[in-house]
Amino acid sequence: MAGGMGSRLGTWAVLVLCWTTALTCAVPVGPGGPGPGPKPGKPEKPLVRKEWRTLSTPEKRSYITAVKCLLAKPSQTTPFNTTGTFSRYDDLVYTHIQQTFQMHYTGHFLAWHRYFTAVYESLLRDECGYTGAQPYWDWTLDAVSPAAYVASPVFDPVTGFGGNGPWVETAPDDPFNVPGRTGGGCVSDGPFAGADDLVHLGPGDSVAYNPQCLRRDLSPSFASRWLSLDQTRLTLSQGDFGWFSRVVEGMPSFDASGIHGGGHYGVGGRWGQMGDLYASPCDPIFFLHHANLDRVWWSWQKMDLKKRLTDISGPIELMDYGNEKTGNVTLAFPVSMGGPTTAADVTVGDLMDIKACGKGGKGVLCYDYDRVYTL
Ligand SMILES: [Cu+2]
């Protein structure tokens, strides 16, 4: 596969650079409030998350309508900072950008994104009248071939999120040239096409107001390699959480992407927001991809649930797999979505059980998946 050492070194150089930058970014602490979090006395039944293609056309429409509602509602970030967050949707993107180098390649990567996706789900429901659950994208169904990938119902122009952007040239020695990329320009069909100001933050760690279109750069051969059922099964076959999480996340190299990078670069390629480590939530497909990664984790947990509801490890600091800087994440490790999302601060331990529901007022998450993966 193309990419090789050049992409590895280039990505690493940027990682180190951005890591230094991220250290100067303060993370606002949330006041707690609506969204997921302990809701004493409120009996809850888990929402059941389903695969995108199994939703009815009206269900798909109501989800997209709620996403567009979040994109149109004003940001609540203003009291916390004076950044370029414009929409309520941007509040989540902002949180992701600010914490990028505190929660990727760490032990709490999966827990953090589990909470992030649940907060998004509750914003759609609480603030935009959506009545369903967050859908997921089971990319293993599409990764059977590059042609099947491009034809995914997720990219459908009428009942999905639209597809690719037109081809954008890249220098052949560009270290971020995703192997087999096919687009790069503004998404040209579907519900998010035609808006040159759908995205307001990024690229990279910039939180200045920067109106842009939504771009995609589909990389079908790359996606069919990393999002395959074989790769997913390899991930699920890991015996402990530390290795499971590492195989999900892979390494910052196109030769070792894992299922996480498979979805990001398979959709975002070189130029699309999904390929941007910081600003990737700008593409609404982010949340369907992360819901499925969460489903992979839940599938893995369910294979030995009692044990795996408490199995957590992995570094507190980015890539510190040898624990040379600090120790491992534990169940007591704090997870915050930052002030603007108004979601309560929780711990990793609060995020281990997706069906915690009421639990004497202490349950944070309350959802389930209609189907899980098995080995
Ligand atoms: Cu992320």
Ligand 1 centroid to 297 CA: how many Å? 15
Residue 41 Cα to ligand 1 middle (Å): 33
In a domain, 237, yes or no: yes
Residues 98, 25 contacting (CB under 8 angstroms):
yes
What is the CATH number for 242? 1.10.1280.10
- At residue 36, the pLDDT reads 54
- How much is the pLDDT for 334? 97
Residue 179 near residue 265 (C-beta atoms within 8 A): no
Residues 319 and 166: beta-carbon distance below 8 Å: no
The pLDDT of residue 80 is: 59
Residue 180: per-residue pLDDT: 96
Q: How far apart are CA 267 and CA 275, in angstroms?
A: 7
> Ligand 1 centroid to 48 CA: how many Å?
23
Q: Which domain holds residue 229?
A: 40-369
Does residue 27 fall inside a structural domain? no
Report CA(101)–ligand 1 centroid distance (Å). Answer: 9
- Supply the pLDDT for residue 81: 60
pLDDT at 16: 32
From residue 22, alpha-carbon distances to 86, 251, 271, 280 in Å are 22, 19, 22, 16
Q: What is the pTM of this model?
A: 0.90
Q: Does residue 361 lie within any of the structural domains?
A: yes
Count other Cβ atoms within 10 Å, centred on residue 238: 15
Q: What is the pLDDT of residue 31?
A: 33
Is 326 inside any structural domain?
Answer: yes
Compute how many other C-beta atoms are within 10 angstroms of the C-beta atom of residue 234: 13
- If one counts the domains in the chain, the total is 1
Those residues whose C-beta lies under 8 Å from the C-beta of residue 243, and which sit 6 or more positions away, are none
Residue 43 C-alpha to ligand 1 middle, in angstroms?
A: 31
Within a domain: residue 20? no
Cα 292 from Cα 294, distance rounded (Å):
5
Q: Determine, yes or no, domain membership for 331.
A: yes
Q: Do 114 and 351 touch, CB atoms closer than 8 A?
A: yes
Whole-number Å distance, alpha carbon 288 to ligand 1 midpoint, is 13
DSSP at 167:
B
pLDDT at 338: 84
Distance 360 CA to ligand 1 centre (A): 31
Cα–Cα nearest to 223, from 289, 134, 157? 289
Residue 254 in domain: yes
C-alpha dist (Å) from residue 177 to 163, 171, 219, 242, 283? 19, 8, 10, 30, 19
Q: What is the full per-residue pLDDT of the chain (375 aa) written as tens digits?
A: 333 333 333 333 333 333 333 333 333 333 334 455 544 444 478 999 999 999 999 999 999 999 999 999 999 986 556 689 999 999 999 999 999 999 999 999 999 999 999 999 999 999 999 999 999 999 999 999 999 999 999 999 999 999 999 999 999 899 999 999 999 999 999 999 999 999 999 999 999 999 999 999 999 999 999 999 999 999 999 999 999 999 999 998 999 999 999 999 999 999 999 999 999 999 999 999 999 999 999 999 999 999 999 999 999 999 999 999 999 999 999 999 987 888 999 999 999 999 998 776 678 999 999 999 999
pLDDT score for 17: 33
> What's the confidence (pLDDT) of residue 203?
96
Of 290, 318, 273, give the one whose Cα is nearest residue 99. 318
